[in-house]
Amino acid sequence: MSRGFWQLSLSSIVLAVAVSAANAQLPGTAGAPQSIQGTVRYAVGSKPVEHVVVRCSGTGGISEQVTNANGRFDFRVTAGHYECSVRVPGYRSESRSLDVLNSGEFLDFRLVEDGTTKPAGANASTSVVDANVPAKAREEFDKGAAAIALGKKENLEEGVLHLEKAVAIYPQYLQAQLMLGTSYAELQQFDKAELALKKTLEIDPKAANALFALGEIYLRQKKNEDAEKVLLQGLQIEDRSYMGHLALARAYVAMAAKIKDENANRPLRVKAYDQVNEALKYNAELAQAHWIKGNLLISVGRDADAQHEFEEYLRLDAKGPFASQAKTLIDKIKQEVEAQKKP
């Protein structure tokens, strides 16, 4: 395609990055009517496992919760595809993939000893919530999480107040710091969000979800090189995170858009293409990934493949923010194909 057509597509990608960053759901966000509930128990004896982290990632974002005294967890999510996982030292990692449609889902995790490491409790680990969390801090955390789950701005603001109290009581409260950071981000208080997420990483340097959340914040602020750095760190820890790969693709696209020379920005576009393919490998239903991939394919003249990606985007998000642009690009491609057929 012509250079002008590519420039239109590149600006479309940049817009995709900006809108996605503005609307991204980060860990801790919720408020949809669907739910993923469940329990974590020991395989032997069926005793509930208290104070372990359950991670849920998917269509609605990435979030973590701590099991209560009955081993229960309860995520509020939008309809879509999700993966929930539990990792406890001394036990085999457990994960479940599921599609949440018109009703909630219930998961029952059973922990089986792996025989290779010390079990939980034998040695403190960041995979297990600190047992030293004071009751008052836990109470404030629960109130904050409950308020945030209601989904409205005023509820979010109320939830932040409770989370601030929780970390004031116990600054090492991993889950409270994480949720506080992502809640600040939703309120666009990026300086506070960055500080809270960095505190989370001080507590647990391997908290990949905190790194991904920090990457999203940097993308919102157009600090693309900073975003690249923390997203790469997160993917070294959790390399199957399609949200991480997609965010990194967006970072490379935004970096490429600042370089007007197509030959000079090509390496960044290649990196973006690789990352968006990684995201789609783990979740083929990511509408935005298809949108970005289509634009990248246009840049190298693969118009037919680009058309397919735009059609996939429309199939997955027919009323999405780029639906109109996707239709325009499909029409342009078809017109060029017809023009080439004429003698």
- HEC string of the chain? CCHHHHHHHHHHHHHHHHHHHHHCCCCCCCCCCEEEEEEEEECCCCCECCCEEEEEEECCEEEEEECCCCCEEEEEECCEEEEEEECCCCECCEEEEEEECCCCEEEEEEECECCCCCCECCECCCCECCCCCCHHHHHHHHHHHHHHCCCCHHHHHHHHHHHHHHHHHCCCCHHHHHHHHHHHHHCCCHHHHHHHHHHHHHHCCCCHHHHHHHHHHHHHCCCHHHHHHHHHHHHHHCCCCHHHHHHHHHHHHHHHHCCCCHHHHHHHHHHHHHHHHHHHHHCCCCHHHHHHHHHHHHHCCCHHHHHHHHHHHHHHCCCCCCHHHHHHHHHHHHHHHHHHHCC
Domain range for 40 is 31-126
Q: Last residue of a domain, which of 109, 126, 143?
A: 126
pLDDT value for 130: 59
Statement to judge: residues 253 and 322 lie in one domain: yes
Q: Are residues 14 and 54 in the same domain?
A: no
Q: What is the CATH number of the domain that holds 310?
A: 1.25.40.10
Residues 311 and 333 in one domain: yes
Within a domain: residue 105?
yes
Residue 190 covered by a domain: no
Q: Are residues 12 and 61 in the same domain?
A: no
Would you say residue 206 lies in a domain?
Answer: no
Query: What integer pLDDT is reported at residue 160 of this predicted model?
Result: 94
pLDDT band at 131 (very low <50, low <70, confident <90, very high): low
The verdict on 94 and 8 lying in the same domain is no
121 in the same domain as 38: yes
At residue 224 the predicted structure's pLDDT band, cuts being 50, 70 and 90, is: very high
pLDDT digits (tens, 9 = 90+) for 190-207: 999 999 999 999 988 888
Residue 166, in any domain of the structure: no
pLDDT tops 60 at residue 13 = no
CATH code at position 67:
2.60.40.1120
**14 and 36 together in one domain:** no
Write down the pLDDT at residue 163: 95
Same structural domain, 237 and 332: yes
* Within a domain: 76: yes
Number of domains making up the chain: 2
For residue 218, tell me if it sits in a domain: no
Domain-terminating residue out of 126, 155, 188: 126
7 and 75 part of one domain:
no
Tell whether 223 is covered by a domain: no
Question: Mean of the pLDDT values across residues 6-24?
Answer: 41
Residue 176 maps to a domain: no
Examine the domain organization and report whether 98 and 19 are in the same domain.
no
**Domain identity same for 249 and 320:** yes
Domain C-terminal end among 78, 98, 126: 126
The model's pTM: 0.68
Residues 12 and 92 in one domain: no
Which pLDDT band, with edges at 50, 70 and 90, does 114 fall under? low
